[in-house]
């Protein structure tokens, strides 16, 4: 079971083009987009549960986007960590998975609520 951390006020965000409402908590002032990760999860496949899913530099909605995952893309999960609260597709999570979009080559953090199976099951 994943550990859940408490985060501040929620901000409503909309993922462009998906029609999916995403609620994300504002990152605390001490939040950083630089987080440790390692490739220890062997989960692989088509695991985005929407289109235009932000792949971010860190596990916070305030971290920059490196690219977008699509339903048709394949991904390689690495591990998960705690981050901002995100609600999408009927799920609310405080965990984010570091992954590589093997279709585009982009690597970064994605909120687990935006991934089938709620992301990686192995902590970073």
CATH of the domain at 43: 2.30.30
**Is 38 exposed, middle or buried (CB count within 10 Å of its CB: 0-12, 13-18, 19+)?**
exposed
pTM (two decimals): 0.75
- Please give the residue range of the domain that contains residue 54: 35-118
Is there a domain that residue 9 lies in?
A: no
As for how many domains the chain has, the answer is 1
Is there a domain that residue 29 lies in?
A: no
pLDDT averages per 10-residue partition of the chain, 124 residues: 35 36 44 86 85 95 96 94 93 95 96 92 94
Tokens representing residue 53 in the block: 């899913």
What pLDDT score was predicted for residue 34?
A: 85
Is there a domain that residue 103 lies in?
A: yes
Degrees to nearest 5, angle at CA 97 with 95 and 98: 140
Residue 3 to residue 62: CA distance in whole angstroms: 21
């Amino acid at each position: 079971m994943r550990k859940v951390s408490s985060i501040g006020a929620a901000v409503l965000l909309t993922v462009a083009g998906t029609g999916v409402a995403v609620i994300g908590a504002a990152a605390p002032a001490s939040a950083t987009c630089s987080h440790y990760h390692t490739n220890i999860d062997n989960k692989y496949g088509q695991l985005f549960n929407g289109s235009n899913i932000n792949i971010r530099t860190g596990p916070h909605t305030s971290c920059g986007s490196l690219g977008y995952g699509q339903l048709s893309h394949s991904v390689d999960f690495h591990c998960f960590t705690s981050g901002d609260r995100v609600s999408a597709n009927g799920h609310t999570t405080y965990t984010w998975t570091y992954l590589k979009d093997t279709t585009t080559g982009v690597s970064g953090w994605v909120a687990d609520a935006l991934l089938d199976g709620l992301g990686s099951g192995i902590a970073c």
